[in-house]
């Protein structure tokens, strides 16, 4: 069959299944995309938070690594669903929550995309201004938002091309920054300064695990074009290694420079993250190149956010109107709406960026852990990787409008975490008993698994074999 989509400038597929004759690429594309998307300044900030909020640099490094491995494994399991289903991630949630019921986690997903896009645009706008040599924040923010919109509208293959570019620039730029950090700071003396503290150690784990888990709702969006014959293990390991290595490298740099900044070794990373990295790189053309590395890295992940938001919002609207796809005009309007909102929020963003970002990541961890558990338990254990794809678009089909066990379990999984929270606005009673240690996401992970599996297996409606729609 002739591939009618390969010569199109703008991607024509949306939430519909990718037919076999349009499948292309290799699992390594997942490595470059997720390495490039995570080798960026917000990862540096996230790693720095572990030290900023009290952890010793050594234990921050170890905690961040543990969290990246745990969270990275979960998000890579979602990625492995892409070639098998050929669908965006959140469409597959209809198999667990029902066609209408899937709207519940989808609303939270859209809020997540908006939050990450806004915080990323703040930092990226500063980098754009650094390149242009201007000081008006809105200018850099608007320019960056426009670039994000363009790439998101063009779609899948351009996003992966950007990921390859971001991988190369990220390796070059962050290698240089790492060398400069080791040459300017007594790095060895920054580690092992404070004794081990369980509270801050678990915070470090939560920060990186939360970082990885928030990719879960859209990671399969970027593996769904891989050929159906693609090995699940290859998809898993390329996604896992790209995401974990890229994130851990950037977060480790954040640990080093934040520890050095707090120890008084020049500069104030907490006050101006983008400017600090530019100064660490050097002056003149070198600092400009560092700003370019920052922009390319952030452009990659912000494009993922905008593209993913389009998929999520379309999944919501089609559940209500019964459609199975969107026109190019509709996808453009969805994406532009998301970009305009994120730019507006970025312009009005609070100066208390670090604290707000920490709380934002940890709250997201609370609401997405139960969704991730339900999706993975159902796909790998209950359905055993067998989905009735046409039924995902039919409220009166196999999966129905609402799946009560999944929806109730989801809310229990969220609510059961509240006593274990340690947030700026609220600290749970059990958390106080534990000395301020936040283990809410661990509780949510275990509790959701134990509740959902024995309940859902009684109502399992998965087909005996995978059911695909007729290709067109």
Task: For the chain, give every domain's residue range.
Answer: 29-365
- Nearest CA to 226 among 122, 87, 93? 87
Residues 6+ apart with CB under 8 A from 183: none
Average pLDDT over every residue of 308-323 = 87
Quick one: fold of 29-365? Hydantoin permease (1.10.4160)
Is residue 23 a contact partner of residue 228, using CB atoms and an 8 Å limit?
yes
Cβ within 8 Å of residue 266, ≥6 positions away: 184, 260
CA 174 to chain centre: 20
Are 250 and 123 a contacting pair, CB within 8 Å?
Answer: no
Q: Which residue has the higher pLDDT, 190 or 9?
A: 190
Cα-based angle 466, 468, 470 (whole degrees, multiple of 5): 155
CA distances from 366 to 16, 78, 91, 115, 167 (A): 30, 18, 21, 15, 30
Tell me what percent of the residues of the chain surpass a pLDDT of 70: 94
What is the CB-side half-sphere exposure of residue 385 using CA atoms within 13 A?
12
DSSP label at residue 186: -
**CA–CA distances in Å: residue 157 to residues 10, 24, 152, 290:** 9, 10, 10, 26
pLDDT value at 271 more than 60: yes
* Token digits of residue 42: 């917000």
Whether 4 shows a pLDDT value over 70: the answer reads: no
Per residue in 351-398, pLDDT (tens digit) is 565 566 656 666 776 888 899 999 999 999 999 999 999 999 999 999
Q: Contact 202/100 with Cβ under 8 angstroms?
A: no
Q: What DSSP state is assigned to residue 263?
A: T
Per-residue pLDDT band at 5 (split at 50, 70, 90): low
């Amino acid at each position: 069959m002739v591939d009618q989509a390969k010569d199109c400038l703008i991607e024509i597929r949306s939430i519909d299944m990718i037919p076999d004759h349009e499948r292309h690429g290799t699992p390594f594309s997942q490595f470059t995309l997720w390495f490039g998307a995570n080798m960026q300044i917000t990862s540096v900030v996230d790693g720095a938070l572990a030290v900023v909020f009290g952890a010793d640099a050594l234990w921050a490094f170890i905690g961040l690594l543990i969290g990246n491995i745990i969270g990275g494994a979960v998000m890579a399991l979602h990625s492995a669903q892409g070639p098998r289903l050929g669908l965006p991630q959140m469409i597959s949630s209809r198999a667990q929550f029902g066609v209408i019921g899937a709207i519940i986690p989808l609303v939270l997903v859209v809020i997540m995309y908006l939050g990450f896009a806004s915080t990323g645009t703040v930092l990226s706008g500063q980098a754009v201004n650094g390149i242009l040599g201007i000081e008006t924040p809105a200018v850099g923010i608007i320019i960056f938002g426009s670039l994000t919109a363009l790439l998101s509208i063009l779609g899948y293959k351009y996003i992966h091309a950007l990921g390859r570019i971001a991988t190369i620039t990220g390796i070059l730029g962050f290698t240089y920054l790492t060398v400069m950090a080791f040459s300017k700071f007594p790095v060895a003396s920054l580690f092992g300064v404070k004794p081990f503290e369980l509270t801050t150690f678990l915070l470090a784990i939560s920060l990186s695990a939360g970082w990885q888990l928030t990719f879960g709702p859209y990671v399969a969006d970027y593996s769904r074009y891989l050929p159906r014959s693609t090995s699940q293990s290859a998809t898993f390991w390329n996604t896992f290694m790209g995401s974990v290595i890229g994130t851990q490298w950037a977060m480790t740099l954040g640990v080093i420079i934040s520890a050095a900044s707090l120890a008084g070794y020049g500069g104030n990373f907490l006050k101006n993250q983008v400017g600090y990295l530019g100064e660490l790189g050097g002056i003149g053309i070198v600092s400009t190149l560092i700003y370019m590395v920052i922009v390319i890295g952030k452009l990659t992940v912000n494009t993922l956010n905008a593209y993913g938001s389009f998929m999520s919002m379309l999944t919501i609207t089609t559940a209500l109107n019964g459609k199975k796809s969107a026109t190019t005009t509709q996808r453009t309007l969805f994406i532009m709406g998301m970009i305009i909102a994120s730019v507006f929020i970025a312009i009005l963003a609070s100066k208390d960026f670090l604290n707000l970002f920490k709380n934002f990541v940890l709250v997201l961890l609370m609401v997405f852990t139960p969704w991730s558990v339900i999706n993975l338990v159902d796909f790998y254990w209950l359905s055993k990787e067998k989905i009735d794809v046409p039924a995902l678009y039919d409220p009166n089909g196999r999966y129905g409008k609402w799946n009560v066990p999944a929806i109730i379990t989801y809310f229990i999984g969220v609510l059961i975490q509240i006593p274990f929270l340690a947030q700026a606005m609220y600290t749970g009673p059990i958390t106080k008993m534990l000395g301020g240690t936040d283990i809410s996401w661990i509780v949510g992970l275990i509790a959701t698994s134990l509740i959902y599996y024995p309940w859902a297996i009684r109502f399992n409606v998965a087909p005996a074999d995978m059911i695909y729609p007729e290709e067109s």
